[in-house]
């Protein structure tokens, strides 16, 4: 009997969660309005950038020969992966589908991909270009979402702040290499 009750409990909990989930998605949609398709598209393009940025930093960190640079690149790579996760989560909350095929990384990217090389300065200059592009993209999507989608807007500010920190770190490394 106890066993049966716990099965019933579990099923009702699942149904309540499905029901609430649908309701929450509906309200989210209501708040975001007709812009939702455009926002999901922009978030997917940014997601392509983040996957490529993660790959570029992770590979570059393993190729460069300067330990201080390697450490910074590894730490930035971690942030880019986290950004990819945050964007994926938001796309799903908005009822969209996050890109799932690596072919789409190249199709959707705003900022492209620079193949990492052994030349440390080139790696840093390429990364700096990518960060500048990312900051512009998040600034654009922040403007797009400011009025209609405050949750995405906050996420854009959060990611943009970290991209600005990356830009600063890379500039510092380039200055330090010049000395």
Residue of 45, 108, 166, 169 interacting with Fe ion (CB under 5 A): 166
Token output for 157: 């500010």
80 lies in the binding site for Fe ion (CB under 5 A): yes
- Residue 163 binds to Fe ion (criterion: CB under 5 A): yes
* Residue of 45, 83, 90, 108 that binds Fe ion (CB under 5 A): 83
Judge contact between 79 and 162, C-beta under 8 A.
Answer: yes
Inter-CA distances, 164 with 18, 72, 86, 110, 117, Å: 39, 14, 17, 17, 24
Of 29 and 78, the one with the shorter C-beta distance to Fe ion is 78
**Is position 126 an interface residue for Fe ion (rule: CB under 5 A)?**
no
Contact of 120 with 69, CB cutoff 8 Å? yes
Q: Does 42 bind Fe ion (CB under 5 A)?
A: no
Q: Which residues bind Fe ion (CB under 5 A)?
A: 50, 80, 83, 163, 166
């Amino acid at each position: 009997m106890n066993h049966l009750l716990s099965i019933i409990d579990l099923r009702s909990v699942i149904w309540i969660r499905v029901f609430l989930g649908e309701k929450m998605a509906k309200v989210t949609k209501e708040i975001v309005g007709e812009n939702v398709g455009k926002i999901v598209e922009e978030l997917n393009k940014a997601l392509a950038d983040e996957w490529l940025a993660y790959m570029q930093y992770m590979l570059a960190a393993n190729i460069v020969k300067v330990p201080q640079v390697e450490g910074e690149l590894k730490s930035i790579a971690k942030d880019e992966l986290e950004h990819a996760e945050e964007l994926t989560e938001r796309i799903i909350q908005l009822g969209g589908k996050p890109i799932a095929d690596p072919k789409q990384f190249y199709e959707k990217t705003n900022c492209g991909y620079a193949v990492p090389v052994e030349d440390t300065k080139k790696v840093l200059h390429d990364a700096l270009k990518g960060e500048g592009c990312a900051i512009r993209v998040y600034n654009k999507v922040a403007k797009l979402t400011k009025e209609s989608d405050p949750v995405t807007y906050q996420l854009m500010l959060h990611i943009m702040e970290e991209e600005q920190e990356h830009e600063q770190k890379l500039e510092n490394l380039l200055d330090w290499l010049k000395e």
